[in-house]
Amino acid sequence: MALAGVLFCIGLFGALTKKSAVMVLMSLELMTNAVNLNLVAISRFMTPASMAGQFAAAFNIVVAAAEIGLGLALVLALYRLRKTVELDRIDRLKG
């Protein structure tokens, strides 16, 4: 669990500091992985028979996959529109 905490904080740090949209998405994936690891670890040691945490982690993986797919599609669409992936320069909601 401490390991998952460390991973989560590295991911949070990356998500807050990076300027490239793709890097932010990758940091988000890191955070999701940390959460999944924590779910599985707690499930392994507290409810080993019912595997509740494993189901939660499986659905979390599904949602994370959908999120990264949509996020990267959004990055591609933004790139086509603005020719940049720098978050500092994407500051208009209506182009």
Partner 1 sequence: MPDSVAVVPFVILAALAVGGGAMMVLTRNVVHAAFWLLEVMMAVAGLFMLLSAGFLALIQMMVYAGAVSVLVLFTVMLTLRRREDAERSLDLSWSAGLIALGVFVAVGAAIASFVPPAVVAPAVTPGVAEFGRALFTERALPFEIASVVLLIALVGAVWWAGGDDR
Interface mask (CB under 8 A) for partner 1, residues 25-64, using x and -? xxx-xx--x--xx--xx-xxxxxxxxx--xx-xxx-xxx-
Q: Return d(Cα 21, Cα 86) in angstroms, integer.
A: 6
What is the helix (H) or strand (E) element at residue 27, kind and residue range?
Answer: helix 21-46
Q: Give just the sign of the alpha carbon dihedral 15, 19, 21, 23.
A: negative
- 19 makes contact with partner 1 (CB under 8 A): yes
- 22 makes contact with partner 1 (CB under 8 A): yes
Binding residues vs partner 1 (CB under 8 A):
1-3, 5-14, 16-20, 22-23, 25-27, 29-30, 33, 36-37, 40-41, 43-51, 54-55, 57-59, 61-63, 65-70, 72-77, 79-80, 85
